[in-house]
Structure formats: C-alpha cells, structure tokens
Amino acid sequence: MSNKPRISKGTRDFLPDDVKKRTYIFDVMKEVFTKYGYQPIETPSFELTSTLMGKYGDEGDRLIFRILNSGEKVKKADLSALENNELSKFSNSLSEKALRYDLTVPFARFVAQHQNELSFPFKRYQIQPVWRSDRPQHGRYQEFTQCDIDVVGSSSLLYELECIQIFDEVLTGLNLPGFAIKINNRKILSGIAEKSGAEAFLVSIVTAIDKLDKIGTDGVLKELNDKKVPKTAIKKLEPLLSYKGSNDEKVELISAFLKDSKIGMEGVEELKTVLNQVEQIRARKWAVRI
C-alpha cells in the first residue's frame, strides 16, 4: 500500500492565494521599514548550538531543534558523559548545530561578527522563518515566520518612539481595525524582580508575565510557582498582574511599587518620556497601552 502524502505536524503548505496575501503583508512592512532607514539582513537557518543555548532560559532551550552530527563527527560523542548520566553534556556532544529559535540571538551574533563592516547606529529589519519544538496546536506552529526590527549602537529613546510610529504605520497600512500598541521597559521588569526579592528569577518572572494575556492571572501565578519563584515574591508580584486604568494611572501605580528601586525608576522615567512624546503626536490617534 502506498503512503498518503503528508507533512510534519507543526508545519503547513501555502497555496498560491496564501502566498499572495503573505507577500502583500511583507511588502507593506518592507515599505515602511525602508522609509525609516531600516536595512534588510538575512542569517542562516541554523546556528552553532553554543550560540543559541543558554540564551532563552530552560524553557526556551528545551524548544530548540537540534541537528544531529553526521559522519565522522558522530564518533566524537562524549560517551563518558552518557555513562555518568550527564545527559545534557552528552546531548551537546551529539549536536553542534541547531535551527534558529528566533531572530534576536542570531542578530546579536551577526553584529558581533560584522561590527567592523557596519555603520552605527545600525537599523535592521529581518523577515525569516524560525523553528520551535513546541506542541503543535491551533495557531501555534513549529515552523513560522518572524519579523524583527532593531537599532544597535544607540540608547536614544527617540528610536523607541520611532518603533511605535513604524508599528502604527504598518498596522494602519494593513487596514487592521482597533489595534493597540503595548509598550514595556526591561528596567521596570528588573525593578519588579528586585523589589519582589527575586532578582535571580528575573527570566522566569518576565517569561510568565509575558503570557498574562494568554493564560490569565491564575496561569501566571501557577507558572511562577512551577518555576520555584519564592512564595513571598509571588505575593508581592500578584497585585501587579491586575493593574487597571489609563496609562497615567498605571505609571503612578508602578512608580509607587518601584520607588526604592534605582533601575526600576529609571525605567519608569524612560516610559514617561516615550508616553509624553506619543501624546504630542496624538493626531494619529494611536492606541497605546502599557
């Protein structure tokens, strides 16, 4: 009996109409990116495992697609690690390469490797597929396309405002109704971890909070517990998960929480600056939320 043609779970084919729609979306994005001076780059579909591992936390590392060594390289596997039950070390010795998990870490490698060939600040956009060994489900694939824009070589908040303008122009150009642009600040997240007494769990806290819209408050609290974040820290974090109100009201609440955190208040001031700049160009009627 012949096998029916099929594709791997977590992947999909794109028919001609699908490709036309995707091409249109990408073209709208590229036009806006180019208008603001962002340049296109591409990086390989796979990177050295050593480049990717340890950059995404334990959860992310588990979702990286490894590429098994072949030929003579297989003979270099660390069998002693297997005998000593050091499975992670043994696994690494079997795989020197892996499919890229996102576009950010490869971009960091790209900048470090080509810094003498780039002019800074360097503004890049990148639209390429990435791979994650996640459980396939509705709307979640193991192979999907990411679109990134980044500025390297400047700490100016003007670029943060520029990104908001770009998002607005792209989404408006695609005729998407009622969209909202959410903004954040890494220093605020660091301050939250510091004030909660859980600085060592920053990655776990950020990862859990990032899922708030998807899994709700209870889901975030469960994940924090599963990640062994101290219960005292979780108790301090819990009120932050239900902040309501306008941008100004939220900034006031988070300012009160972070008042003794230097890095946290730096983030608050940066956020205020960006929001104030947005207010000055409200004629575009952006929907900006924290």
CA distance 4 to 8: 13
CA distance 202 to 199: 5
All domains of the chain in start order, with CATH: 1-154 (3.30.930.10), 178-290 (no CATH)
CA distance 144 to 245: 35
Q: What is the pLDDT along the chain (290 residues), one digit of tens a residue?
A: 568 899 999 999 999 999 999 999 999 999 999 999 999 999 999 999 999 998 887 788 889 999 988 776 666 666 676 666 666 666 777 788 999 999 999 999 999 999 999 999 999 999 999 999 988 888 889 999 999 999 999 999 999 999 999 999 999 999 998 898 989 899 999 999 999 999 999 989 998 998 898 899 999 999 999 999 999 999 999 998 988 889 899 999 999 999 999 999 999 999 999 999 998 876 555 455 55
CA distance 191 to 197: 10
Show the tokens assigned to 92. 């690494």
CA distance 14 to 22: 9
* pTM, entire model: 0.84
Looking at the chain, which runs of residues are DSSP E strands? Answer: 39-40, 46-48, 66-67, 97-99, 122-131, 143-152, 181-182, 288-289
CB 268 within 8 A of CB 188: yes
Find tokens 């109409």 and name the residue: 17
